Structure 1
Amino acid sequence: MKVIIIGAGFAGLDLAQKLNNREGIEVLLIDKVTYHQFQPLFYQVATSALEPSSISFPIRKVFQRSRNIRIRITRVQAIRRAQNIVETDTGSYPYDVLVIATGADTNYFGNEKLASLALPMKSTLEAVKLKNRIINNFEDALEVADPMERKKYLTIVIAGAGPTGVELAGAISEMRKNMLPKDYPELDFRMMDIYLLDGLEKPLFNMSPQSSGDASQYLNELGIIQKMKTIVKDYDGENVMLADGGVIKSKTLIWAAGVKGNVPAGIEPELVIKGRIRVDRFNKVIGTPNIYAIGDIATMETPLYPKGHPQLASVAKSQGKFLGRNLIRYTMGEPMEEYEFENKGSMATIARGRGVVDMEKPFKMHLNGVLAWMTWMLLHASLLHGGKNRVIVFVNWLYKLFSFDQTLRLAERYYSLLSDKTIEEIKSEDCREAEENSKAQM
């Protein structure tokens, strides 16, 4: 049985590992990058707490000893259902079973200006870009004399108060308190505001009321300005315009307000609802004989989740493993089983010593403060791929715990954000200057 898996995120990678070295199954794993990315820790890359390589792991290294898994790094162009073929940039590949595990991307809800100017954080490269922007803004602020103009460079607005937004806001607030005043003694960081916006009533709305309340209290203690029931209407690069008519002046808008599925071409629109592909209880795409979807891209109606499962790493990993077991049953002539998510709980960290955990299994319990923060750290470190990555991440966290510092404040100062010139114009001027100097020497 030839199985093609599109996407090596949590769902796709766990499925491939479940099928690894299984007799009678050949697997082709397709992804557009050569590495698996640990999304829950993107915000720590963006705030200089971890280096990108610590949360990324080469896909090929995972399957170095595999006898039945092959990998192609390419982009999927289309799925040809009638011919059972996946078309990519590098060629066409036939399949008996196709599994779509393409995950989700940032959702700007059709606002092209937001898409071009706001900063997302759905990949390692986007996290690095965000870190560059934050550090470059502080560098540019040194050259601004007018206090009100300087404040634009210091102020950071985060749209979306889910786990990503809350964790990012807390990490930036720690930078503001412990690190930035030492790096930039000329700047008054009392002028630096951190806004956390969301259209819902409270942060971490999908967690328990206790966790939402604890998170809101921790954010207040960290000096983060929470504006709930607030929707971002537009952004021009300097002014965050709100739906209620308010304006926040900032050079940095971080967008963590929504996601949409990466639906590949070839999947009919009627099979997609709210950006996710409709699947049955076996993760099979509705109306197809041999196409499955798992993880963030899939939506499945079950008795416990009539509106679909939450788009969480725990759901993606669970569906990947479960589908793997079902495909093995299929090759052995056994009936497949219906899927239901066993929710063991959810968690978020707000800052050093501040976290919230909602445990569902083995028993229902709410944790907060230092104990929740330590639980969060231990779980996320254990989920990383590669023993080296686990050790490096844990050592970095221990160093930060005792030093109150983040040592990875590396950014490329490739151009000044104060300049009206584009990068291309600057490069063009450099080339002309070099050419003139060469002529003069001749």
Structure 2
Amino acid sequence: MLKTIAVIGTGYVGLVSGTCFAEKGNKVICCDIDSNKIENLKKGIIPIYEPGLEEMVLNNLENERLTFTVNIGDAIRESDIVYVAVGTPMSESGEADLTFVKAVAQTIGENLNSYKVIVNKSTVPVGTGKLVESIVRDVSDGQIPFDVVSNPEFLREGSAIKDTMNMERAVIGATSEKAAEIIKELHQPFTDKIVTGSVESAEMIKYAANAFLATKISFINDIANICERVGADVKKVSEGIGLDSRIGAKFLNAGIGFGGSCFPKDTTALLHIANSVNYPFKLIEAVIETNANQRQIMVQKLLDVFGDIKGRKISILGLAFKPNTDDMRSSPAIDIIPKLVELGAEVCAYDPIAIKEAKKYLGEQITYSENLYETIEGTDACLILTEWEDVKAIDWNSFKAKMNQPILIDGRNLFELESMKREGIIYHSIGRPAIKYENTIKA
């Protein structure tokens, strides 16, 4: 049975989730307090870069299954289900900031006119469901029935539409069987793998999943650093352990660590949750520390090559934290580039999508370009930070012709060592032997 759904918050999660619900025939009202964003969305102008999203938004607008409004109260009153998809940024203490969640709960309570299922889609700490329930009940005087559900998202930026339309699983934690069945029915067009339980269990599943994946990344990065010291190749190590069905190959690619809107924030929030119940979560502390240290390895590799980079021209390939997105949140570039500038390097950076966003973090201290070969021209060394497709397909003859010297420091391990030897590239990667040539570094 199709539903009328209000989605409060038109950020990454809210916009993608709401659009996909509409694609399956539901009537979806996406709301936001940002009037400029809403006016643009009404015209089909998308505030984020996500493959396939613009086309899906336009299709559902045309078919009147998807609407956008700043009138959140009206949307709540008209809906059967209210999704809360507002931001929960990391506060200075490391815990999730629930300011927006609390504000939305207040608004829901003020506009509760019939039974609603209130769904937390935002990533929130354990106990938030009870907090939302308490606020809504207090504001509405407890006269109108409602239920609260935790339904965490597991979207990957760059493939969010695919991840939603073909969910690996849906997680539903509800305060009643009735609410669980309503949200379960809503997800049946997307997946038949549905995990149900308490609100608290669903809230913990989100943090536990992201923390585990972050742990795999930090683990293989620590292994990579040992590999370099003992002469092993981390790609072969990853292949060998990844074939073990108990381990699996995913998230075992050594590199410069995790970034984006989820892993850094969620690992820190989980650590805060553990601390709040007096549990010493040493493992996740190490995961966070390893990830922070991993980024500086790129700078150190550059220093190992030159000794001093003051006055050197350095090119950067990739600014976004991953390909197929313009998301700069916790991108390695944010840590690496300022350090290079601090050490006196002149930096030119390439990214096909994320330059506008990158300027919010990096300002005008560097030069930006949407042309890869213009970026590397006349530079002394090149660092790969994002595995864009055109970076993977780089033409080595052009690379060697345009660079002052063919020095490549690959933070994503994109290329095979043998091919770099054949091309004559001075090549440093993560967790693998460096390819060097005697007396080839220009002063």
TM over 0.5: no
Quick check: which one's strand share is greater? 1
- If asked which structure has higher relative contact order (CA below 8 Å, sep 6+), I would say 1
User: Normalising by the residue count of structure 2, what TM-score does the alignment of the two structures yield?
Assistant: 0.31
Quick check: which one's helix share is greater? 2
User: Normalising by the residue count of structure 1, what TM-score does the alignment of the two structures yield?
Assistant: 0.31
